[in-house]
């Protein structure tokens, strides 16, 4: 039987450890208790509805409760809920892997399934290290990554995205990773403009690859947009050059499409903007339309071919219990079918252009800087207010203010962004931008 919201919250405060949530917030803020999702909306236990402006941590690209996905899960649940992929197979995983591979520039690929994004990244790291080992290059077992990248919360993935502020207590147990400067075109640290840019931002990466390629298994990057770092968008030229450096120095290029894949940037995969063909691609989040945890590490056939077991055993001894789970695979397959039938990626590209235009109104506000967008991602940074409130404080206040206007946001530090479902209507999108604009204005005005 459903409970009253207060009753839920009382139980919640005694039982749940909320991820990425400060104690002070968990104890003093009253969270909405979400009971239903439909299209771009989430409904709470008191009947309030909110626009899910972050697509539930960037994964519900088709909105909530898409009937095709719900039906696929229901149909699969009636036949087979779980069966493993070790020495067995099942139709949903076979069809999903075949469909997925068809989206790559060169369909010579293999799909290694996992559950969440972090485990797809871990698998990519395992595959990369063992690939070089299979070839007898056992010293190639380290990684390079971009500073402030985010690749997940397991230890390997966290090593790639190590952030001293968040991860200090793990300093001694993370694996050493070469971290390179990160490109960020809207707020270029080198003061470059696109017309004059010579990609100085990649100097440190060039140097790392030149000096350490003999010990590097791979370079791991979020293609075109470092999401958790604050939607730090960078140009296709940068990614193209990273791919070129990897080719030149024989380092595998591993792209983490977990947040930006599945049409988010206006292409099926974000790496397509740069016309590159990465060695390993990690997918997660939106793969099932955000309905079930399924992730995939999609690996070039040439890498897979080195994992033979004769005369020496190079088998990949790696796999998660729910890898390729039939329910999740059926959901992902239905999701891909909807993408094809409804032309979701093209729709996202066009809607993204409109979002970008709408976002230009933020140029009016002095406190806003580094306005940027890529497909259905739009973001800006908040500077400190005239009254001394920091950009981070202002952003926190905006989150609470805009919630009153039925919009759910989660700022990243001083960065405010929208990542609406790709299928959101123009009307809801415009209303959301307007609600955010009004909230920012009123929070700033409160300090005047």
Binding interface with ligand PMP (CB under 6 A): 116-118, 121, 150-152, 222, 227-228, 256, 258-259, 284
Closer residue to ligand PMP, CB minimum distance, 19 or 136: 19
Within 8 A by CB and 6+ apart from 132, the residues are: 138, 140, 141, 217
Q: Which two tokens stand for residue 295?
A: 């992730």
Closer residue to ligand PMP, CB minimum distance, 103 or 151: 151
Q: How far apart are CA 122 and CA 126, in angstroms?
A: 6
Closer residue to ligand PMP, CB minimum distance, 241 or 256: 256
Closer residue to ligand PMP, CB minimum distance, 284 or 391: 284
Considering the complex, what minimum distance in angstroms separates the CB of residue 271 from ligand PMP? 13
Q: Which two tokens stand for residue 314?
A: 């190079």
Q: Rounded to the nearest 10 degrees, how much is the dihedral formed by the CA atoms of 17, 18, 24, 26?
A: -100
Considering the complex, what minimum distance in angstroms separates the CB of residue 111 from ligand PMP? 17
Q: How far apart are CA 1 and CA 88, in angstroms?
A: 40
Closer residue to ligand PMP, CB minimum distance, 40 or 261: 261
Fill in the DSSP letter of residue 293.
-
Q: Is 227 left (phi over 0), alpha (psi -120 to 50) or beta?
A: alpha
Closer residue to ligand PMP, CB minimum distance, 152 or 156: 152
**Is 274 within 8 Å of 223 (Cβ atoms)?**
yes
Q: How far apart are CA 123 and CA 294, in angstroms?
A: 13
**Is 430 within 8 Å of 410 (Cβ atoms)?**
no
Whether the link from the prior residue into 330 is cis, omega within 30° of 0, is: no
**β-strand pairing of 216-221 with 177-180:** unpaired
Considering the complex, what minimum distance in angstroms separates the CB of residue 428 from ligand PMP? 24
Fill in the DSSP letter of residue 86.
S
Considering the complex, what minimum distance in angstroms separates the CB of residue 337 from ligand PMP? 23
**Is 402 within 8 Å of 431 (Cβ atoms)?**
no
Alpha-carbon torsion (115, 117, 122, 128), positive or negative = positive
Considering the complex, what minimum distance in angstroms separates the CB of residue 296 from ligand PMP? 12
Considering the complex, what minimum distance in angstroms separates the CB of residue 280 from ligand PMP? 13
Considering the complex, what minimum distance in angstroms separates the CB of residue 59 from ligand PMP? 8
Closer residue to ligand PMP, CB minimum distance, 45 or 226: 226
Q: Give the CB-nearest residue to ligand PMP.
A: 117
Q: What is the CA radius of gyration of the chain?
A: 22
Considering the complex, what minimum distance in angstroms separates the CB of residue 371 from ligand PMP? 22
Closer residue to ligand PMP, CB minimum distance, 117 or 385: 117
């Amino acid at each position: 039987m459903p409970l009253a919201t207060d009753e839920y919250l009382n139980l919640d405060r005694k039982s749940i450890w909320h991820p990425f949530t400060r104690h002070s917030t968990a104890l003093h803020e009253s969270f909405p208790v979400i009971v239903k999702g439909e299209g771009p909306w989430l409904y709470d236990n008191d009947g309030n509805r909110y626009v899910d402006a972050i697509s539930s941590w960037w994964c519900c690209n088709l909105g909530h409760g898409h009937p095709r996905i719900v039906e696929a899960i229901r149909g699969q649940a009636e036949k087979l809920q779980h069966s493993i992929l070790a020495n067995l197979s099942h139709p949903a995983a076979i069809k999903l892997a075949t469909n997925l591979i068809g989206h790559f520039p060169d369909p010579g690929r293999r799909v290694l399934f996992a559950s969440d994004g972090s485990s797809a990244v871990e698998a990519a790291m395992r595959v990369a290290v063992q690939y070089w080992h299979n070839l007898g290059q056992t010293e190639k077992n380290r990684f390079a990554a971009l500073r402030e990248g985010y690749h997940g919360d397991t230890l390997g993935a966290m090593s790639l995205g190590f952030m001293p502020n968040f991860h200090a207590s793990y300093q001694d147990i993370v694996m050493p990773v070469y971290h390179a400067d990160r490109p960020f075109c809207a707020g270029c640290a080198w003061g470059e403009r696109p017309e004059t840019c010579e990609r100085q931002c990649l100097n440190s990466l060039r140097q790392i690859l030149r000096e350490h390629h003999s010990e590097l298994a791979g370079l791991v990057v979020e293609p075109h947009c470092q999401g958790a770092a604050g939607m730090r968008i960078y140009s296709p030229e940068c990614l193209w050059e990273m791919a070129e450096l990897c080719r030149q120095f024989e380092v595998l290029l591993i792209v983490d499409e977990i947040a930006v894949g599945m049409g988010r940037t206006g292409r099926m995969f974000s790496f397509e903007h740069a016309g590159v063909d990465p060695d390993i691609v990690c997918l997660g989040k939106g793969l099932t339309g955000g309905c079930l945890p399924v992730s995939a590490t999609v690996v070039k056939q040439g890498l897979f071919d080195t994992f033979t077991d004769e005369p020496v055993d190079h088998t990949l001894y790696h796999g998660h219990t729910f890898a390729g789970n039939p329910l999740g695979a059926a959901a992902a397959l239905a999701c891909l079918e909807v993408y094809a039938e409804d032309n979701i990626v093209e729709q996202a590209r066009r809607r993204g252009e409109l979002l970008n235009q709408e976002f230009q109104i933020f140029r009016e506000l002095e406190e806003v800087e580094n306005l940027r967008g890529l497909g259905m991602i739009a973001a800006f940074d908040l500077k400190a207010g005239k009254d001394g409130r920091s950009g981070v404080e202002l952003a926190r206040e905006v989150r609470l203010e805009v919630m009153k206007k039925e919009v759910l946001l989660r700022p990243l530090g001083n960065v405010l962004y929208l990542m609406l479902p790709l299928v959101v209507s123009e009307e809801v999108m415009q209303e959301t931008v307007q609600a955010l604009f009004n909230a920012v204005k009123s929070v700033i005005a409160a300090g005047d």
